[in-house]
Amino acid sequence: MAVKYLDFHKYLKGMKKQVLLLNQDNTPLNIITISKAFKLLSKDKVWMDETSSEFYEVVSVSKIVKIPKILILKYYVKLPFKKVAPNRINILRRDKYCCQYCGIDLCEKNATIDHVIPRCRGGGHSWINLVAACKDCNLFKGNRTPKEAKMELKTKPKEPSYGFLFDDMLITFRKNKNA
C-alpha cells in the first residue's frame, strides 16, 4: 500500500494543477499544488466542499481519483499579516484593466502603470501611488501630478486585501456555493 501511495504521489507531483485552500472560516489561505492537496486529503486535514462540483479527475493505474479544486482546512491557521506586491499585473487587476484617468478598457498593448506623484518628484512605488493608465493618458500626464495636468482619478488607489490574490478562484467557489 505504502509503495502505491508513494508512486501516485510522485505522479501527482508532475501535474501543474492547482487547488484553492480555504481556512476553517472559509477565507482564502493559499493556492496549493494537487499533490499537496492529495496529501492533506489522505491525512484527513481538510474538508471537501460538498456543494462544489469542481473536481480534477486523476486517472491512476487502477482507478479514477477525484480531487476537489477547493479544500477547506479542518482547523484554523492564524496568518501573519501578508502583503500583496504592487506589481504590474496586480495593479492592472486591482484597477480592473481600466484606465484610471479616461476610463477606457486596457489591453496588453495600451496598458501602462502610472506613478500618480511622479517618481522624479518623490512619488513611491506603492499601492497608493500606482494606477493603471492607458498609454495616451500616461504620455499626456508626463511628469505632472493629476492636479497640474487637470486629470482626475476615477478611484482613489489603495492596497487590496490578501484575499484579492485568490479572487478568480473564489468567484468559482461562490458560484458553486450559491448554485
Closest CA to 166 of 19, 10, 52, 65: 19
Closest CA to 40 of 15, 53, 22: 22
3-state secondary structure (DSSP) of residue 25:
coil
Q: Does residue 38 touch Zn ion according to CB under 5 A?
A: no
Instruction: Please tell me the count of residues contacting Zn ion according to CB under 5 A.
Output: 5
Alpha helices in the chain (DSSP H): 2-13, 34-42, 88-94, 135-141, 146-149, 167-178
**Candidate residues 37, 49, 94, 101; the one interacting with Zn ion per rule CB under 5 A:** 101
Kindly state the cell numbers that stand for 144. 505632472
Residue 8 or 101 with smaller CB distance to Zn ion: 101
Could you tell me which stretch among 66-74, 84-92, 133-141, 150-158 binds Zn ion (CB under 5 A)?
Answer: 133-141
Kindly state the cell numbers that stand for 113. 502603470
Q: Does residue 137 touch Zn ion according to CB under 5 A?
A: yes
Could you tell me which stretch among 1-9, 53-61, 65-73, 131-139 binds Zn ion (CB under 5 A)?
Answer: 131-139
Q: Does residue 130 touch Zn ion according to CB under 5 A?
A: no
Residue 20 or 134 with smaller CB distance to Zn ion: 134
Q: E-assigned strands of 74-115?
A: 111-115
Q: Does residue 22 touch Zn ion according to CB under 5 A?
A: no
Q: Does residue 99 touch Zn ion according to CB under 5 A?
A: yes
Q: How far apart are CA 152 and CA 146, in angstroms?
A: 6
Q: Does residue 134 touch Zn ion according to CB under 5 A?
A: yes
Q: Does residue 113 touch Zn ion according to CB under 5 A?
A: no
Positions that interact with Zn ion (CB under 5 A):
99, 101-102, 134, 137
